[in-house]
Amino acid sequence: MRFALSLGLLGVVALLPACTPAPSPAATATPAATEQPPAEIAWRHGDVDDAFAEARDSGKPVLLYWGAVWCPPCNQLKATLFKDPAFIALTRQYVPVYLDGDEEGAQAWGERFGVRGYPTLIVLDPQRNELTRLAGGNDSEALTRALTLAVSRRTAVSEVLQHALTAPQDVSAEDWRVLGDYGWEVDANRLAGERDAASLLQQLAKAAPEPALRRRFTLLALGAGTPDATATPAQRDATGSVLEAVLAAPAEVRANRELLGYQGPALVKQASATPAQAQQLGTQLLSALDAADHALGDKADARLGTVITELALQRQQHPDQAIPAALKTKAQQRVAAADAAATTPHERQATVSTAVYVLRQIKDDAAAEKLLLAELDRSQTPYYYMPELADLAEERGDKATALSWLHKAYQGAQGPATRVQWGVLYVEGLLRLAPDDAPAIETATAEVIADLALQPTGYHQRTRQRFERLGTALQAWSREHHGAESLTRLQARMTATCAKTAPGTEGADACEGWLKG
């Protein structure tokens, strides 16, 4: 899909300890003990500086949550973990900050903290040293366990890593657990720095004291690296041994559930020398995931995720074959079950894009379009689904409808960073589907620049990344369609805007150099 919808991130570890001890009989008689627990997390919304001031006064760490209204895994958190009384109680030991990507200054904060994707949770001490970060798409129990561990820590995770690399025998079990929990998939090279992430994780895999933790780091390293088509038999055997050992241990499957779901097919491929081996290992993978789903109550959204893995294995092992009828039926049934189970707005935002992805994987575009159209009237963020409707129209050759959906999505998008993101999608659609319409391309791009002008210090993080991507696309279009004059006018607009959105920042030169490269 050109307009890939967010399907969530990889996961970390499991096990849920008690967050608070039971009150003593004497305590139950006091007024404080009979107070009702808070019904929701006391988030500070975008108040980052004030949060650190409170943290310095209270000694509590800061829990920074980076998310967006439209983000599916963010909504999954809101529908589950953020409603859990035990987790709400846990957050009272933190200064919790909700940093929505569309709040004023949010993209600058995101760049400062090296946040790469929604949702991400970062724990920082009052001096702003990072204690850990976690991918928000992880299992709720895993996140609770990791944040319960993090609340009492005072050692920066960068120090823990350096210690593990230089003197692993002296690293405590708790420190190793922090490195195992760490959200490497949302690290954005904060810990790895200039080092190759896959090599770094392999080094940790060799140094870790526990076999399960060594296997976890190995899986993370394999997922972070580029699949090697020239792997030796010994390398394939090593990958296969690790994968088989993990799949044979239910606790390890649970600890690596998201990683196995999304990276599993690639790992199966790396571990298999023959189609028969791939078939056998793929069957083991699916059996282990099904068992993990069953242990968690066979939730409809988890079972939907497992069928995505099964479809990926099918395509990988039989690229020239149509999806078998039985697998297609299973996928449709899982979509229907997930659709029926998602009743609240947060649940639906967390589920629908995944359901649409499954339907498109089985080539049931009609059902995918029907589901999307129905959701437009139910969703609080209907613009989120419109680029997918545009992609469906484009695939069937209906360029006018595709552009109409992209334009509607842009016009309906709410929030400054979101408007830029959806505006870039619209301009890219024009470049692809109507490249000879220079006036429309220039007008739409100028509108996106005008949206940027409304954001004080807005040329950061996701917004900057999308403008850089758009600049590359516009330059390619200009070379092929004689758009130099349009680019000159757009660059002049951008220069004026940069004075407002990137004054004196590290991104100022990049902003002012937009389209000049």
Determine, yes or no, domain membership for 467.
yes
Tokens found for residue 155: 């050692």
Q: How would residue 22 be classed by pLDDT, with cut points 50, 70 and 90?
A: very low
Alpha-carbon distance of 326 to 61, in angstroms, equals 51
Q: Would you say residue 285 has pLDDT above 70? A: yes
Q: What mean pLDDT value characterizes the chain? A: 89
Domain count, the chain: 2
**Integer Cα distance of 312 and 264 in angstroms:** 9
pLDDT tens-place string over residues 118-171: 999 999 999 999 999 998 877 788 899 999 999 999 999 999 999 999 999 999
Q: Range of 499's domain?
A: 399-517
pLDDT value for 454: 87
pLDDT at site 25: 32
Burial class of residue 483, CB neighbours in 10 A (0-12, 13-18, 19+) = buried
The whole-angstrom distance between residue 447's C-alpha and the CA centroid of its chain comes to: 28
240 in any annotated domain: no
Q: How far apart are CA 395 and CA 400, in angstroms?
A: 12
Residue 176 to residues 180, 190, 370, Cα–Cα distance (Å):
6, 18, 48
Q: How confident is the model at residue 37 (pLDDT cuts 50, 70, 90)?
A: low
- Name the residue among 439, 413, 507, 414 with its Cα closest to residue 467: 507
CB atoms within 10 A of CB 296: 15
Spatial CA neighbour of 350 closest among 7, 1, 2: 7
Greater pLDDT, 215 or 296: 215
**The two structure tokens encoding residue 139:** 């299992």
Is 41 in contact with 91 (CB distance < 8 Å)? yes
Does residue 417 carry a pLDDT above 70? yes
Token pair recorded at residue 173? 């079990």
Structural domain contains residue 41: yes
Distance CA(311)–CA(361), nearest Å, equals 7
Q: How many Å apart are CA 242 and CA 244, to the nearest integer? A: 6
Split at pLDDT 50, 70, 90, the class of 10 is very low
* Alpha carbon distance, N-terminus to C-terminus of the chain: 29
Does residue 470 register a pLDDT over 90?
yes
Comparing CA positions, the residue from 162, 243, 173 lying closest to residue 195 is 162
Give the pLDDT score at 53.
97
| Listed residues 92, 127, 154: the one ending a domain | 154
The mean pLDDT value for 372-398 works out to 97
Domain assignment present for residue 285? The answer is: no
d(CA 449, CA 489) in angstroms, rounded, equals 12
The DSSP letter of residue 8 is -
Cα separation of 108 and 458, whole Å?
A: 7
Tell me how long the chain is.
Answer: 517
DSSP, residue by residue, 191-250: TTTTS-HHHHHHHHHHH-SSHHHHHHHHHHHHHHS---TT--HHHHHHHHHHHHHHHT-H
Domain-located, residue 390:
no
Compute, in degrees rounded to 10, the torsion defined by CA atoms 100, 105, 108, 114.
-30
Exposure b/e, 210-236, CB count within 10 A at least 16 = b: eebbbbbbbbbbbbbeeeeeebeeeeb
What would the pLDDT profile of 318-327 be if each residue is shown by its tens digit? 999 999 999 9
**CA distances (Å), origin 514, targets 27, 269, 442, 488:** 63, 41, 15, 10
Token readout for 167 is: 């003197």
Cα–Cα distance for residue pair 515/221, rounded to 1 Å: 37
**What letter would DSSP give residue 44?**
E
Give the per-residue pLDDT at 39: 83
pLDDT in tens, 78-108: 999 999 999 999 999 999 999 999 988 888 8
CB 358 within 8 A of CB 312: no
User: For position 83, what pLDDT does the model report?
Assistant: 94
Beta carbons of 182 and 197 less than 8 angstroms apart: no
Confidence class for position 35, pLDDT limits 50, 70, 90:
low
* 100 occurs within a structural domain: yes
**Boundary of a domain, candidates 154, 184, 203:** 154
In a domain, 464, yes or no: yes
- pLDDT band, very low/low/confident/very high, at 431 (cuts 50, 70, 90): very high
Element (H, E) at 87: helix 85-91
pLDDT digits 0-9 by tens, 435-461 = 999 999 999 999 999 999 988 778 888
List pLDDT tens digits, range 157-200: 999 999 999 999 999 999 999 999 999 888 866 777 778 889 99
pLDDT of residue 1: 41
Query: Are 372 and 385 within 8 A, CB to CB?
Result: yes
User: Which residues on neighbouring strands pair with residue 133, listed in sequence order?
Assistant: 122
Residue type for 220, please? L
Do 307 and 323 meet the contact criterion of CB atoms below 8 Å apart? no
Please say whether the beta carbons of 172 and 209 come within 8 A: no
- Whichever domain contains 119, its CATH number is 3.40.30.10
Distance CA 308, CA 327 (A): 11
Boundary (domain end) residue, out of 104, 120, 154: 154
| pLDDT tens string 401-412 | 999 999 999 999
Residue 24 DSSP code: P
Q: Are strands 62-67 and 120-124 parallel, antiparallel or unpaired?
A: antiparallel
| Residues facing 100 on adjacent strands | 67
Q: Which residues pair with 62 in a beta bridge?
A: 95, 124
**Is 371 among the domain residues?**
no
